[in-house]
Amino acid sequence: MKQSFKLWHKILLTGAAFTVAIAGFMLKLPSVFRHIDKEMHSLFYFLAAAFLNILFAKRNLLVHALIFALLYAFSVAIEYAQEYSNSFLHKRIHGNADPEDIYHNLLGLIAFSVLWILYIVIVFVYKALNPKLSPDDAAGRKP
């Protein structure tokens, strides 16, 4: 029996995850993590891309590209929101908009895309070499 999330479950889960992410990005990073800030940006966007692609894209290149573009736009928007929040609240709750953070966000997205496309190619080749297999078998899932 194959169970999957309904679209509204996926949207609700995504909304909750991004609400937590926005709250996390809007607060100043604890000092213990400040020396690995750039790596954390790359890792977050790598994992966010994985989460959204597994949830929505499956093996659809167009959906993957849309997710990539939306996450990149989110990364730029959140950096400028951090800058704006300091002036809006008249209190420094976060640092300034940092172009290096945006660059590392992009690196995380690119790293995931490389792995995702490699996975898609491997599944495609495997299915081509084993035409008797169902799509679930080719993806390594049990029927």
* pLDDT tens digits along 54-89: 999 888 999 999 999 999 999 999 888 887 877 766
Dihedral sign of CA atoms 130, 135, 138, 141 in order: negative
- To the nearest 10 degrees (0 to 180), the angle between helices 99-129 and 61-88 is 160
Pinpoint the alpha helices (H) of the chain: 7-26, 37-52, 61-88, 99-129, 135-138
87 touches 74 (CB < 8 A): no
- CA 117, 122, 128, 132 torsion: positive or negative? negative
Per-residue pLDDT of the chain (143 residues; tens, 9 = 90+): 456 778 888 999 999 998 988 887 777 767 787 788 889 999 999 999 999 999 998 889 999 999 999 999 999 998 888 878 777 666 666 666 788 999 999 999 999 999 999 999 999 999 899 887 665 555 555 55
Contact present, 101 and 82 (Cβ < 8 Å): no
pTM: 0.79
With vertex at residue 73, the alpha carbon angle to CA 122 and CA 93, rounded to the nearest 5 degrees, is 125
In this structure, what token pair is assigned to residue 73? 């736009």
Taking the CA atoms of 109, 12, 57 and 118 in sequence, report the sign of the dihedral they define.
positive
Q: What angle do helix axes 61-88 and 37-52 make, rounded to 10 degrees? A: 140
- Break the chain into its structural domains and give their ranges: 7-138
